[in-house]
Amino acid sequence: MQIIGFVLLAFVVWFGFSNRGDNTVISAFDPHALVMVLVGSTAAVLVSSNHTTAYRTFLCLKELVPGLRFFGRTTQQMEQERDQVIALWREGRRAQALQAAEKSRFPAVKELLDLVLHRAPEVASARSSWS
């Protein structure tokens, strides 16, 4: 990845010193600036990353595209499962809450109930409720 990044950096330097043509107005919105920012940013990511982290970085950029927001949907699903476990726990249906947490595909929901079970003894958990 670093080799590709260095090649892109060399291109950015060459492109930065190249002639802009007849356009003498320098703007943040001209095609020259767009190439410099996008290719320069890509080169910086590639130079400082290995192939796995570069791939993850570019995958995270899809969060900027409205229809491709994977993290937002996943977060909502996790919050729904967490709310379900909390509601079952508050209702006193601890066995169902434990089953729901064990069936969860999110480790955070499983860890939530695990922490509650190992922190509070039976008497304390019967008196208190989650807020």
Full pLDDT tens readout for the chain, 131 residues: 677 777 877 888 887 777 766 666 666 677 777 788 888 888 888 888 888 888 888 777 776 766 666 667 778 888 999 899 989 988 988 889 889 888 888 888 888 888 888 875 655 555 555 54
User: Of the candidates 21, 39, 68, which is a domain's last residue?
Assistant: 68
Tell me, yes or no, whether 24 and 59 share the same domain: yes
Total count of domains within the chain: 2
Q: At 25, is the secondary structure helix, strand, or coil?
A: coil
The answer for residues whose C-beta is within 8 angstroms of residue 31's C-beta and 6 or more apart is none
Same domain, 31 and 82: no
Torsion of CA 80, 84, 90, 92, to 10 degrees: -170
Given 68, 90, 108, the domain boundary residue is: 68
Q: What's the whole-model pTM score?
A: 0.43
Q: Print the domain residue range for 36.
A: 2-68
The verdict on 14 and 54 lying in the same domain is yes
Residues 62 and 86 in one domain: no
